[in-house]
Amino acid sequence: QDTSPAGLVDALNGTFGSHPGMRASHAKGFCAVGQFQPAKSARDFADGPLFGQKSVPANVRFSVGGGNPKASDKSRSVRGLSMRVAAGGETWDLLLISEPAFFAATPESFVSFLQARVPDPATGKPDPAKVAAHNAAHPDGTRQPALLAAHAAPSSYASTPYFSNNAFVFSGRGKKTQHARIVAEPFAPVQFLSADEEKTLPDLFLQDELARRLGADTVGFTLYAQLPAAGDSLLDPSTVWQGAGKVELGRLLVKGQAPHDACNGVVYMPLALPTGIAGSDDPILHARGAAYAVSLSRRLTQ
Ligand code: HEM
């Protein structure tokens, strides 16, 4: 199995097709802008200059998971929230998805998961026998699909929580270090599509829905560092954490949508981290950056 950076992107393209100019994953999406406001106590937990700022401009992107740029907004796949904030000579890229577990524990399992879902030319759908064989060999690939099957898609980008799945290492004042995952909780109540909406809404509604909401209300998220309970894996993003409390890092206020160029010439990098946050040893976290760079290079040139 090819788990090189190009191999990871090829696996995405193999399942979702190659779409010139588009991201290999989270292909459908749009840019937005906002402000990140660190919490007063954030430096106790992540002691870097970024967390000493009052308010930092944020470059944001909302997306539908998967590499199909025409995926329906109703599909039971993950939604993505990406944020880049830069201040005090530091940059923080934060990439979150709307389920608390990823679909693979390792790059090998990532490639196998996608290969098992290459559409069967006869049906246009994954071959259930191949998915079953993947599940038998890689039980880590069963958890995210089960979470997605358990509820309809979010009714708004602003009405779902988002999760980093990967753990990070935080160093706060006094050099105390702690592992944590990152969670963004929406200001708005969590809401999924009703059975009726799942049938009747058009495939494209999330962007207009957010525009209407931005005109009427404050849209935002509170960002937390979620602490692990004993036994929560620090290395495996496919497991749901039980968690042992959370520390507020700040708030992300979304102010408006932004033109295509605001976020499409850039790539959010999972290991672009500010002082106070470092990567954990999670093998998925470390496999990501180089694959994102391959995807950027392909979408800017093909
Ligand atoms: C080995 C594991 C992974 C691989 C190979 C991978 C690959 C990719 C690629 C190639 C892109 C498109 C990058 C671009 O062209 O800008 C992407 C986007 C994205 N990925 Fe991953 N990914 C992995 C794991 C994860 C995990 C664990 C998360 C959990 C939060 C995640 C969340 C996202 C999000 C939110 C985006 C959209 C970024 C944007 O809005 O530009 N990915 N991924």
For residue 172, give every residue at least 6 positions away whose Cβ sits within 8 Å of its Cβ, in sequence order, or none. Answer: 43, 44, 45, 46, 47, 178, 276
Calculate the CA dihedral of residues 38, 154, 11, 104 and round it to 10 degrees.
Answer: 70
- Which atom of ligand 1 is closest in space to residue 9's alpha carbon? 10
Calculate the CA dihedral of residues 271, 56, 254, 93 and round it to 10 degrees.
Answer: -10
Any atom of ligand 1 within 6 Å of the Cβ of 166: yes
Cβ–Cβ contacts within 10 Å for residue 60, how many? 28
Any atom of ligand 1 within 6 Å of the Cβ of 165: yes
Look at residue 205 and give its three-state secondary structure.
coil
Model-level pTM greater than 0.80? yes
Token output for 37: 């406001």
Find, among 131, 140, 77, the residue nearest to 107 by Cα: 140
Token output for 138: 């890689």
Question: Is 62 within 8 Å of 80 (Cβ atoms)?
Answer: yes
Distance of CA 207 to the CA centre of its chain: 17
Per-residue DSSP letters for 240-273? PP----EEEEEEEEEEEEE-THHHHS----TT--
Q: What's the gap in Å between 188 CA and the centre of ligand 1? A: 25
pLDDT at 82: 98
Q: Is residue 138 flagged as an active site residue?
A: no
Any atom of ligand 1 within 6 Å of the Cβ of 26: yes
Number of structural domains found in the chain: 1
Q: What are the CA-CA distances from residue 155 to residues 74, 80, 92, 183, 196 (Å)?
A: 8, 14, 28, 19, 12
Any atom of ligand 1 within 6 Å of the Cβ of 64: no
Any atom of ligand 1 within 6 Å of the Cβ of 264: no
Q: What's the gap in Å between 268 CA and the centre of ligand 1? A: 9
Q: What's the gap in Å between 196 CA and the centre of ligand 1? A: 31
CATH of the domain at 293: 2.40.180.10
Q: Whose CA is nearest to atom 30 of ligand 1?
A: 96
Q: Whose CA is nearest to atom 16 of ligand 1?
A: 267
pLDDT at 39: 98
For residue 160, give its domain range: 5-301
Q: Is 292 assigned to a binding site?
A: yes
Q: What's the gap in Å between 17 CA and the centre of ligand 1? A: 16
Per residue of the chain (302 residues), what is the pLDDT tens digit? 899 999 999 999 999 999 999 999 999 999 999 999 999 989 999 999 999 999 999 999 999 999 999 999 999 999 999 999 999 899 999 999 999 999 999 999 999 999 999 999 999 999 999 999 999 999 999 999 999 999 999 999 999 999 999 999 999 998 789 999 999 999 999 999 999 999 999 999 999 999 999 999 999 999 999 999 999 999 999 999 999 999 999 999 999 999 999 999 899 999 999 999 999 999 999 999 999 999 999 999 98
Beta partners for residue 34, in sequence order: 58, 254
